[in-house]
Amino acid sequence: MAIDWNDPTTLAEQYLAFLKSHYTVATGFYLWEVVNGIPFDWHVVKREGTEGKKQTVSALFTKSVYLACRYLTLASVISADAGFGATKSSQVNCEVWMRATMTFSYLIFELASILIAIRVITIWNRHRVMTALCVAGLALQLGYYIREIVREEAKWDPTNVTCLVLSAQTNRPTVTVTLAVDMFLLISMLVGLWRWRDASCGRGLWSLLWQQGLIWLAVATLAEIPTVVLLWLNLNQAMDVIFFTPEMIIVVVAATRMYRILWSYDPAAYITLGLERNLPT
C-alpha cells in the first residue's frame, strides 16, 4: 500500500517525530557537547602564543572560527526550539523566526567549511591555486546561503501547533552546493596529505591528520547526503527538513572535535595558518 506523504495524519505524525528527534538529539546532545567542551574552550580563550609570543592574527582567526561554530550552534538550537516548541499561547512570528534560525544555521555551515578550508590551505602550504579554489568555494556557498535566507518562508500551522516551513524546496541547490564544496575541500585535504611520503604512516602529526581526514569525509558524507536526497524527493514539508538539524549538529561536532584533537596533539599546528615547520622535506 502506497503512503500518502501529504496526508494530514501522516504529516502530523512526522512533525511529532521531528520535534521529538529535535528536542532529544539537537537540544539534549548538543547541550551535553557544549558543557563537555567548556574546559577546553576556556583554555583556548586564555592561551597565549607559544614560547611567550603573542598569537598571530591568523591563529586568533582560526580560534575565533572554532568558538563561533560551537556557540552559534547552541544559539541556533535554542532558536529552533522557540519555533518548533511554540504553543497556542506562545505563538511566534514564524517569518522572523525562520530567517533568524536559518541565518544562524547557514553561518554555522559556513564556519564549519572554513575550518576544513584552513586545513586544506595549511596542508597545501598556502599554494595560490588551492587557496583561490577554497576561497571561491566558500564564497559560492555563502552566496547561496544569503540567497536562501532572503527567500525563506514559514507560517503558523494551527493543526500541529508549530511553525511550518513553506520554502524548503528552494534549499535544493543550496544543500547540494554545500555537499559539493565540503566534498571538494575534504578530498583536497586527503590529496594534499597523500603528496607527502609520511601522510599515511602509523605515527606522528601527519598520521593524525590523515586519519582525521578519512573520518571527516565519511561523517560529512553520511550527515549531508540524507538531507540532499530528501529535498530532491520532495515527499512533504516535514520530511524536507527532518534531517537538517541533526546534519548541522553532526557537521559541527565533527569539525570542532577535530580541531580540539589536533590542538591537544600540537597547539602550534594552527599558528600563522601554516604547518610549514612540520612539513616533511
Pairing verdict, β 154-157 and 162-165: antiparallel
Cβ neighbour number for residue 233 with a 10 Å cutoff:
11
Cβ neighbour number for residue 120 with a 10 Å cutoff:
25
Tens digit of pLDDT for each residue in 217-258?
Answer: 999 999 999 888 888 887 766 667 777 888 889 999 999 999
Phi then psi for residue 155, to 5 deg, are -145, 160
Provide CB contacts within 8 A for 159, sequence distance 6+.
8, 12
Tens digit of pLDDT for each residue in 84-106?
Answer: 666 666 677 788 888 888 899 99
pTM check: above 0.75 = yes
Domain assignment of residue 280, yes or no: no
Phi then psi for residue 164, to 5 deg, are -105, 125
Q: Which of 229, 194, 222, 249 has its CA nearest to residue 25? A: 249
Distance CA 148, CA 176 (A): 13
Q: Are 116 and 216 in contact (CB under 8 A)?
A: yes
Q: What is the DSSP letter of 53?
A: P
Provide CB contacts within 8 A for 171, sequence distance 6+.
148, 231, 240
CATH of the domain at 193: 1.20.1070.10
Number of domain units in the chain? 1
Domain assignment of residue 188, yes or no: yes
Query: Which residues constitute the domain of residue 102?
Result: 10-44+56-273
Q: How much is the pLDDT for 183?
A: 95
Q: Which residue has the higher pLDDT, 184 or 12?
A: 184
DSSP letters for 138-177: HHHHHHHHHHHHHH--EEEETTTTEEEES-GGGGHHHHHH
Domain assignment of residue 1, yes or no: no
